[in-house]
Amino acid sequence: MKPIKVVLVDDHKILRDGIKSLLADIPYINIAGELTEGKELIEKIEKIKPDVIILDISLPDISGIEVTKILIQKYPEVKILILSMYMYEDFIFNSIKAGVKGYLNKNISKDELLEAIKKVYEGEDYFCPIIENIILKSYVKKIKTNKQEKKLDDLSKRELEILKYVVDGLSNQEIADKLFINYRTVDTHKCHIMKKLDLRSSVDLVKFALKNNIISL
């Protein structure tokens, strides 16, 4: 197997030394360079021609996300692996949008680092379990949000009016007086609202309205 040329980009020497130590006895890994800044990587990438770049997201001059955007635009074949202590959702998704092939926590093991390098070198994506879990939770949250938005879309203009009055604490008769309709009609609308939103009580209705910014505290 041809050695995989790896470049380390991190401004912390102790971390670079740690990675080099982990990879020192791996015959198919060649540490082709170690840099401390993003702009330095952009300037030297043509000369080094790395197969895999292990990049920190927080650099002194420019973020790893911005570096990735610049490099991917000019060198779409480059394989970038983010190695970071930051597990924030926006960092992860912005890195993926920028074009990284993988995202790892700095606490990963030697075996996991090796697997990640091999996977991205072969053109696959690799995310450590912590990152996968964050991505999955975000996906589930998005699905739930979309479902709630769809439920709101199912409500008529009149039903939305009544929903707002209900969560404001108005009685059926008070709502009827405001809308110039019969109080029994209000009760019918309330039943339809509860059914469409899959809710069981007025408390659930208030919670739903708060969560979806129909009302605010």
pLDDT computed for residue 129 by the predictor: 84
Q: Is residue 137 part of a domain?
A: no
Q: Is residue 166 part of a domain?
A: yes
Q: Is residue 86 part of a domain?
A: yes
- Same domain, residue pair 160 and 95: no
pLDDT computed for residue 217 by the predictor: 45
- Number of structural domains in the chain: 2
Q: What is the CATH number of the domain that holds 199?
A: 1.10.10.10
- Same domain, residue pair 15 and 122: yes
Digit-coded pLDDT (tens) for 17-51:
999 999 989 999 999 999 999 999 999 999 999 99
- Same domain, residue pair 100 and 170: no
Q: What is the CATH number of the domain that holds 49?
A: 3.40.50.2300
- Same domain, residue pair 75 and 147: no
In whole angstroms, give the CA distance from residue 175 to residue 168.
10
Pairing mode, if any, of strands 4-9 and 29-35? Answer: parallel
Q: How many CA atoms lie within 13 A of 9 on its CB side?
A: 31
pLDDT computed for residue 166 by the predictor: 80
pLDDT computed for residue 167 by the predictor: 74
Q: Does the pLDDT of residue 216 top 70, yes or no?
A: no
More confident residue, 154 or 125: 125
Q: Does the pLDDT of residue 141 top 80, yes or no?
A: no
pLDDT computed for residue 112 by the predictor: 93
Q: Is residue 28 part of a domain?
A: yes
Q: Tell me, yes or no, if the pTM score tops 0.75.
A: no
- Same domain, residue pair 119 and 53: yes
pLDDT computed for residue 202 by the predictor: 66
Determine whether 42 is exposed, middle or buried from the number of CB atoms within 10 Å of its CB (0-12, 13-18, 19+). Answer: middle
Could you say which DSSP state residue 122 is in?
Answer: T
Pick from 131, 166, 196: which residue ends a domain?
131
Digit-coded pLDDT (tens) for 50-97:
999 999 999 999 999 999 999 999 999 999 999 999 888 889 889 998
Q: Which of 46, 44, 32, 16 is nearest to 121 (CA)?
A: 32
- Same domain, residue pair 121 and 34: yes
pLDDT computed for residue 139 by the predictor: 61
pLDDT computed for residue 5 by the predictor: 95
Query: Domain residues for 193?
Result: 143-211
Q: Which of 138, 61, 64, 50 is nearest to 99 (CA)?
A: 64
- Same domain, residue pair 122 and 158: no
Digit-coded pLDDT (tens) for 168-202:
778 888 889 999 999 889 888 888 888 888 777 66
- Same domain, residue pair 11 and 69: yes
- Same domain, residue pair 111 and 151: no
Q: Is residue 138 part of a domain?
A: no
Pick from 104, 131, 158: which residue ends a domain?
131
- Same domain, residue pair 70 and 170: no
Q: Is residue 136 part of a domain?
A: no
Q: Does the pLDDT of residue 103 top 90, yes or no?
A: yes
- Same domain, residue pair 93 and 183: no
Pick from 76, 104, 131: which residue ends a domain?
131
Q: At what angle do helices 183-197 and 172-179 cross, to 10 degrees?
A: 110
Q: At what angle do helices 202-211 and 157-167 cross, to 10 degrees?
A: 110
Q: Is residue 124 part of a domain?
A: yes
- Same domain, residue pair 38 and 127: yes
